[in-house]
Structure 1
């Protein structure tokens, strides 16, 4: 009987535990009242707590089971102990218990409907956020890639941090950026930056500095007086030449086995939205070398004593012998979480790329985004 009740009334183990706990509460109170004796029913108000508590965690059917048990218990105690079930006092007592029971059942139904709407909205939001920042492919041109996005908000997959990778006729171009501010305005601005980059970066004859100018021009109308976007743009050419443009953003790190990380770029310039003045700086990305692009949520992560995360010391682990790109990023993020004590205060985006022998061509012209994670 109880198995059938469980299969019909509840859908999972936690709900079953809640229903049986509420029924146990009703039985416990009834036993206590019987043992105490007397005509005064002191447990009647407490019996209503069973269905009311159940309504917070289970559906209306499970709540109805506990509500029915509560009302029957009040009726049984009124008839057996106090002997006033057929009087006005007993009828009022039972009616009051029934009213609370109905309230609990209706409350459970309303709660479940609201949760279903919230889940539906959350699913739509998740799809929309994935459309804004879709996953970076494992390979674009002759570059192997890995990426991670960690949102500081438990209610969001993405925020104001962004990154993207685009294949062009002259190599591969990437952007990593950080929008000033948080919430939906920051997400909207990040989406605008990504859209402008995806449309501009593949254009033939467009230098990396011109890409930065066009991205700024595209997002300028939506920015407020104090809004801006820090960004780093880079281009890896087939011959290994690496071009970098810094727009108020931390310089990426060039990583090579057996060497200390080297910052690429010395001229940050103004951020996008504040009159960008891009300057292209060039170096070489050798085969087997890696480039780490990141937002300031990585270098500004602090521990309990206020010390910043030491990226220079940790970045060397990203080029350990035989280390896969994804494994390296996982170790890096694990180190960040240990440093801050488990939860980040700011969004964090990292993009790790490695120049490797050319593989199968990637036909998608624009592929970028975030593999989202909860601090």
Structure 2
């Protein structure tokens, strides 16, 4: 029996899980020996159904319900374009293998080679502010252009913004799910999952096909997100949140942890401030992240020099008017003195330059636009 079949059979036994799996492997040395010689002391701790499944396997072997499920699951994976990555495979992610009780088996949609890329996890609040979403997109785009794969959890809010930023930066992104890879959750992000796959990214889970999203799955999902990555960037988070748990797991796994500071009046900044007090690195630019990781990858500007765009007085005046936060068309017209037609043309031009972005009911600065205000001269396109 090959290691993959034995591992799948063991993990199929309800109540066994990664912790007991690794206990068995430490004792028996291989999953096939562990499956054949499951100790009575451990068997008695499993639910009655799991005990029955294992005893039937001992009697019937390949004709048992347990091994028939394994063969069926492998066939379903082939039909649905899902690859199985076992801990014994040479291309199992080495960083993930370093964590305590790593997932013995990964289900993967997308290219296996993506798992070998250096990864940065970007996580944060589902109900992030517009500035938080902008930061997630911008940091992800710049880090993706630097050569990092952006790993996150496909959740609403910061996770989705990070994936989209990586796609905008024409980089790789990996979505780790708390459900089966064929059960995209949340439903609102199914189109985003399709975009990720179409762009050469990946969808990953340790859960069998057709597994639904349950609350108990997400802490397990979070340890994979941090375990795959060289570092975790927290964008926005409340003091009690799954994102903060991911960052703490990263600290336990000896990963670098970064946090973007925010306003003391923003409750979504409190998790970041708490982490910074605990020793996380405060970051303001993607270069801070790359630099902390030892400069393993060059920043985009080092390999892709871009011409500067000099701002004229009208453009600079418009950017300065937007420094206080999102502004409606009416507010911008009043603060800049521009007529409606001229203002719309100016907004469109500057949006194309990546200096601002449109929101429902108005516009706000991008990270690039805000940096340009500080410089007062121009900005690289």
TM range (shorter): under 0.3
More strand by share: 1
More helix by share: 2
From the CA coordinates, give the structure whose radius of gyration is larger: 1
So what's the TM-score if we normalise by structure 1?
0.20
